[in-house]
Structure 1
C-alpha cells in the first residue's frame, strides 16, 4: 500500500461509469465533483460529454491520479487493471457485487485484492459510498450532499450511515476534513486511515462507525501510536453478538466478541461510545476544546434544577465538583446578590444577566482547583443569549480551560450556538451531555498520559509445556483437565501436590504421600462440570480413598457411559477459608488474539461475571490494574477482618498465563478456576483448557 495523500488531494479525478442518465450513480458522482478544485474526467466510450464535461473512452486515457469506479462488478477488474497500468495508484470502487454477494463475488473480491497487491494500489471499497475531502472540494461519493468543512476525519463501514451523518452534521455544527466509506475493506481498512490521519495536521479528531475490525492487533498497534497526539473515537455496533455460544470454558463464555473489542479498543487508546449522539458529542468537544489538567469541574447556572442535574452527571463520569479556594468564594460573594449560591454549583439566580453569569464564570475559571466549567442557562427576560455566548467564548479563550454550555431553549439558543460553535464550544440542551463531554476530555487526557507498558517475561520450561500439549495431540484430545496440571508447573504457577491415577491402589499410594485428607476428582475430557455429577470429593481420609475412587468412576460411567475416563486426580487439600476463590483464564479471539481474564471465581463465576479482560501478553502493571478493576477488589485487599491476599502473586500468575498462551497459539481457551489467592500466595486448584492439535 502506498502513501494516501493523492487519495484525498488528487489533481485529476477519473469517473469510470459516468453517464448522463438521471438517477444513476455515475451521474451523481460527476455532479458531486462540480466543486472539486482539480479536473474531472468522465470515462464513457458511448457518449461525448457528461454534465458538460468531455469524456474519454477508457480510464487509461484520463491522465488521472484518482479513479472512481462505478461500473458493473464483472467489469471492475479490467478497469482497475487498466488504471494501474496507466500509473493510477488510487482507486475508489463504488460497485457492489463482491464479497458481500457471496459465491462469485467472493472470488471477484479475492482477485481484486491480488491485483491491488500486484500494482501496489490504494483501493477503497468495493461496495462503498466513496470518499470526501473538504479542503479541496472533493466529493467522490453519490451522497446527496457535501460534508461541511471542519477538523474531524470520519470513517464508516456503512455507506448509509455516512449519508445520514452528513445530513445531520449540517444542522449540528460538526464539520469534516475527510470522510471515507470503507465498504468491504478488501485492501484499505480502518487501520490505514487512522494511521494516515494521525499524521494529518488538519485532522484534530478521528471518529468512526465500525461493525468489525479484521486485524485487531494491527489496529491496536496503529491506534496506540496515533492516540498519543490525535484522539480516536469509535462507535462499535454488535454489542449483543452471541460470539461465545460455542465456548467450552468459563473464560470463553465471558470473553465474548464484544468483550474482546472492549479490551482491544482500550489497549489502543480509543474512546468507545455507545451511541451516535455520544460519538459526535465526543468529536465536537475534542475538536474544539483543550484537554483539562485536572478533573475538577465548576458549574455556573441561573437555574437550580438543571444545576442539580449537572451535579448528578458529574458523579457518573470520571470528574468531580471542584472545591473553590477562599479567594474564589470571596470574589463570588462580592459579585453575586444575596440569595445566590457561591459554592459549587454556583447559582447566580434567575434574574441574572450575561454580565453576572460571566463575572461568576471568570472567577471560577481562575481557581486552580477548576479544570473545566459548564455554563447552564434557562431563558429569562433578563438574559440575552447572544451576549452570553459571546462573553463565554471570550472567557474560554482567555483562560484556556475547556468549557461546555447548556443554553436551554429554542430559537434563541440556536442563534447563540452559532457563536459558540465558532469558538469550538459545544452547546447541549441536556446538562448531562454537557458534563459527559467534559468527561470525554478527561478520559482522553488519561489515554494521552498513559505510559506504554512492556510485557513482563518469566523464566519458564517451554519444552515441558510442549510435551504436555503434544501428549494430548497424540491421543486425539482437544479438551484437557487436571491431567494437564504439569502445564502450569512448567510456567511456574503454583499447584497443589497430587497426581492422576488409574487405580484405587495408586490412589491410596498418592494419598499416603500427601499425608492428610485429600481431594479426589474424576478426570475426563468429556465431563466438563465435574461437581454437577458428584465427580468431586473433598476431605477424603486415607481409609476412604479406595472406595471414593470406585464411586467416582461409577458416577462418571452412569452419567455418560461413552465418556473417556483418564483416571482420578488425588490432590492435597487447599485451605479455602483464608483465601479468595478467583478465576484466571485465557481465550483466543479471532481479531485480537490471546486475551487474559481475571475475576471472582468458584462455581458461580458465570452468574457473577465480575471480571476484567486485557490483551496478552501482560505487563505486571496491567495485571495489577485488573485486580483493582473488579467489583470484588475489596475482598482481595482484606474485608471483614480478613487478611489481604498476596496481590503480587496473583498478578504474577496472570502474567505467566499470558506468556503461556502467547507462546502456544494451540491453546484456544484456558481456565484456572479456582485460583485460590491467600495471604501467602496462590494455588491453581483446577484446570480446564481447549487446544487446537493442528497448531502444535
Structure 2
C-alpha cells in the first residue's frame, strides 16, 4: 500500500472523546472498536480512568504510540486536540466532529485553520464532519455506524455518512463485502484523489466505488484516476444534475454546459464509470470484480424461455453492445444437437423442457465461438431443470472458456442457493435480464478504458505577448465582455480569420471595405448586445456603394433596441462562402472544479436549440479533438454527407486544440464562443468571437 497505509492498517487507535454514555458518538465509536478491532483501542478522556472496560488516558500525548487518532470533541477544541496529537507523533487523524466548513461563518474559519495545521505537521486527515473509516482486513470499524462492513474486495468512499450506513445495511443482505470504507466528510485535507491513488496500489482492492457530491480538484482527479483505472476499475455515483446558474451565462457554451456536463466529461476522461443508482453501482462492481474483460462486444444469449430471451435481446439493442453473429461451425453444432423446435440463432432458445445436459452442451458450444465476447445464461424454473445443476455447469464452463458470463435466474427462493454458488465463482446473478445486459455493458466499457492510450496535448506557437496586451487593454478600459473587436486575439493564437476589422465611422468603413475584394459582411459591435442577428445587427453581402448607409442603419437599429448600449463600432469582414462550408462552434466554459470545459458542435444561430455538442476538459489532445467532432450527430456533414465536399477536419481539430491551449494558458478567460467556425475543404476560419474576462484573475496572472 501507499502513503495512507497506516491509516487502514493501524496497530493502536485512540478515540479522543471516548464515552461511557450510550447514544453518544464517543460511545459508539469506542464500542465498535472494542468489539471488533484486531489491534489496541486507546480511549482518551481526561474525566475518566476507564471507558467500556478499557484503560483511559487524559491526553493523546499520554497514550503512547498511536497510529490513528479519532477525534470526537466539540468543534471549538478540535484544533487543540489535533495539534496535541500531531506533536505526539500521530500522523493519521479522523475528525468526526461537525461544525466546520459545512456550517459557514466561524466553522469555515476553523476549517481553514485545521487545513493549515494539517499542512504544518503533514497529517493524513479525514473529515471533519466524517462518519469515520473501516478496514475489514483488521476488523477496523472506527465509525459511529450501526454495523461493520462484511469482508470483500471493494473499497468505498462517500461524501455522505448516511449513504454509507444505508449501503452497508443494503449490501449485508446481498452478501456484498468491502475492503476499506471512508466517509470523506468535508474533504478538508484528504479527498477522492488521495483514496483513489491509495486503493489503486492496494492488492486487496479489486474495484473502487464512490458516492460524490463534488470533486475537489477536477484536474488532479483526472490525472490520478487515469493511472488508477488502467489497473483497477472505478465506479462513481455523482449526485446533482442541475444546470443552476446556466441561464445567467453570457455565451452559448455557458448556457449549454451546466455543471453536470463537466462531471460527465471529466469522469469519462478520467476512465471512471459513472452510474445512476446504488443498484447499478453494485451490479457493475460485482461483475468487474469477478469476471474477465471481453475480447469483443458480441453478446450471446442462451435461454429456456422465449419471452425473457426477447427481453434480453431488446436490452442488448438499447445498449452499446450487439448480438454476436455465430460462426457456421457453431450453427452446425447447435443444429445437430438441439431439438428441431429450438432456435439455433442468437438468442438461442433451447425451449422449456431443456434438462441440464441440453443447457450444458449449448453453453459449451456457444462459449467456444470466437465471435462471442460475453454471454447471458437465462433460465426460468421448470420441472426438468435444477437451478443448482445449472449453476454448477455455468461455473465450470465459464472457467474453462474464460469468457465473461452473467446469469439471469427468473425465480424466487429457488434461486438463492444457485445465486450464491455463482457469486462465489464471480458470476453475478439477476432476476431482470436488463440488469444482466447493463452489467456486461459496464464490463465492455471498462475494457475500452483499459485500451485507451493517453497522449500529451500539443503546444502550439502562439503570440502570448499580444494576447496579454489585448486582454489587458480591454480590462483597463473597463470591458470584461469582448466581441468581434478582439478578433486579433484569434490571429495571435494562429486561428484563421477573414480579412477585416472594426471601424467607428462610415468613412472608415468605406476605406476598410475598399481593401477587401467583393462584398462584405457588416456587424454591429457592442458588448451589451449578445444576439446581433436577432435585432438586425448583421448585414451580409454589402456592396461598396452601400457601406456608409449600412453603417448608419446598423447603429440606428442598435440604439432603437437598447438606447444605453455601448456601441464600439461596426465590424467589416470579408464574406465567407457558407454554402461551401459547415458552420460549427468551438466554445469554452470554465467549471469551478474541472477548469476549462471545451465544447464543439453544430454552429450558427441554432446552436442552443439543437444542442448537438460534445465536451472535453482542457487541455485537449489531437485525439480528443477528433473524438469531439465524431461524437456530434451532425458530424457526417463534415465528411461529405449528401454529396457535399468533405471539410478539412484536421484543420478543425487544430482550432479546438488551439482554443484549449488559449484558455489553459489564460485562466482569466472564463467563457468563450467562436461561432461560427466555418469548416471548408480548404481549412477552418473563425467568423465571430465572444468572450468574458475575469479582471482580477488577469491582474494576478503571470505575464509571458
Q: TM-score range by the shorter chain?
A: over 0.9
- Alignment map for 1:343-492 (pairs within 5 Å): 343-492=345-494
**Which of 258, 261, 283 is the equivalent residue of 1:259?**
261
Question: Are 1:314 and 1:321, in contact at CA under 8 Å, matched by a contact in 2?
Answer: yes
Alpha-carbon distance, 1:609 to partner:
0.6
**Which of 101, 104, 108 is the equivalent residue of 2:103?**
101
Alpha-carbon distance, 1:243 to partner:
4.1
- Alignment map for 1:11-26 (pairs within 5 Å): 11-26=11-26
Alpha-carbon distance, 1:182 to partner:
0.2
- Alignment map for 1:36-185 (pairs within 5 Å): 36-63=37-64, 64-185=66-187
Question: Are 2:585 and 2:602, in contact at CA under 8 Å, matched by a contact in 1?
Answer: yes
- Alignment map for 1:200-279 (pairs within 5 Å): 200-279=202-281
Alpha-carbon distance, 1:225 to partner:
0.6
**Which of 566, 569, 590 is the equivalent residue of 1:567?**
569
Alpha-carbon distance, 1:65 to partner:
1.0
Write the deviation string for residues 348-401 of structure 1: whole angstroms up to 9, x where unpaired.
Answer: 111112221121111111111111111111111111111111221111112111
Q: Does the C-alpha gap of structure 1 residues 685 and 241 become closer, same or farther in structure 2, counting only changes over 3 Å?
A: closer
RMSD, aligned CA: 1.3
Alpha-carbon distance, 1:693 to partner:
2.4
Structure-2 residue corresponding to 1:4: 4
Alpha-carbon distance, 1:330 to partner:
2.3
Query: Separation in 1 of the partners of 2:79 and 2:462?
Result: 52
- Alignment map for 1:614-629 (pairs within 5 Å): 614-629=616-631
Query: Separation in 2 of the partners of 1:454 and 1:572?
Result: 36
Match of 1:595, SS state, is strand
Number of aligned residues: 695
With structure 1 as the length reference, what TM-score do the two structures score? Answer: 0.98
Alpha-carbon distance, 1:280 to partner:
1.3
Question: Are 1:638 and 1:645, in contact at CA under 8 Å, matched by a contact in 2?
Answer: yes
Structure-1 residue corresponding to 2:676: 674
Alpha-carbon distance, 1:50 to partner:
2.1
Query: Separation in 1 of the partners of 2:18 and 2:458?
Result: 57
Alpha-carbon distance, 1:661 to partner:
1.3
Alpha-carbon distance, 1:595 to partner:
2.0
- Alignment map for 1:254-333 (pairs within 5 Å): 254-333=256-335
Structure-2 residue corresponding to 1:197: 199
Query: Separation in 1 of the partners of 2:83 and 2:156?
Result: 29
Name stretches of at least 5 consecutive residues in structure 2 with no aligned partner.
Answer: 699-704
Structure-2 residue corresponding to 1:659: 661
Query: Separation in 1 of the partners of 2:44 and 2:373?
Result: 56
Alpha-carbon distance, 1:335 to partner:
2.7
Match of 2:10, SS state, is coil
Write the deviation string for residues 176-214 of structure 1: whole angstroms up to 9, x where unpaired.
Answer: 000000000111100000000000001000010000001
Write the deviation string for residues 566-588 of structure 1: whole angstroms up to 9, x where unpaired.
Answer: 11011111111121111011222
Question: Are 1:498 and 1:572, in contact at CA under 8 Å, matched by a contact in 2?
Answer: yes
Write the deviation string for residues 554-601 of structure 1: whole angstroms up to 9, x where unpaired.
Answer: 111222222111110111111111211110112221111112110001
Query: Separation in 2 of the partners of 1:65 and 1:205?
Result: 26
Alpha-carbon distance, 1:549 to partner:
0.6
Query: Separation in 1 of the partners of 2:336 and 2:149?
Result: 48
Query: Separation in 2 of the partners of 1:439 and 1:548?
Result: 58
Query: Separation in 1 of the partners of 2:558 and 2:323?
Result: 60
Query: Separation in 1 of the partners of 2:672 and 2:117?
Result: 41
Query: Separation in 1 of the partners of 2:371 and 2:561?
Result: 66
Name stretches of at least 5 consecutive residues in structure 1 with no aligned partner.
Answer: none
Match of 2:588, SS state, is strand
Structure-1 residue corresponding to 2:702: none
Query: Separation in 1 of the partners of 2:52 and 2:476?
Result: 70
With structure 2 as the length reference, what TM-score do the two structures score? Answer: 0.97
Match of 2:555, SS state, is helix
Alpha-carbon distance, 1:467 to partner:
2.0
Question: Are 1:173 and 1:421, in contact at CA under 8 Å, matched by a contact in 2?
Answer: no
Query: Separation in 2 of the partners of 1:48 and 1:139?
Result: 23
Query: Separation in 1 of the partners of 2:173 and 2:299?
Result: 29
**Which of 625, 638, 641 is the equivalent residue of 2:640?**
638
Alpha-carbon distance, 1:678 to partner:
1.6
Query: Separation in 2 of the partners of 1:625 and 1:564?
Result: 40
Alpha-carbon distance, 1:428 to partner:
0.9
Structure-1 residue corresponding to 2:497: 495
Query: Separation in 1 of the partners of 2:55 and 2:355?
Result: 61
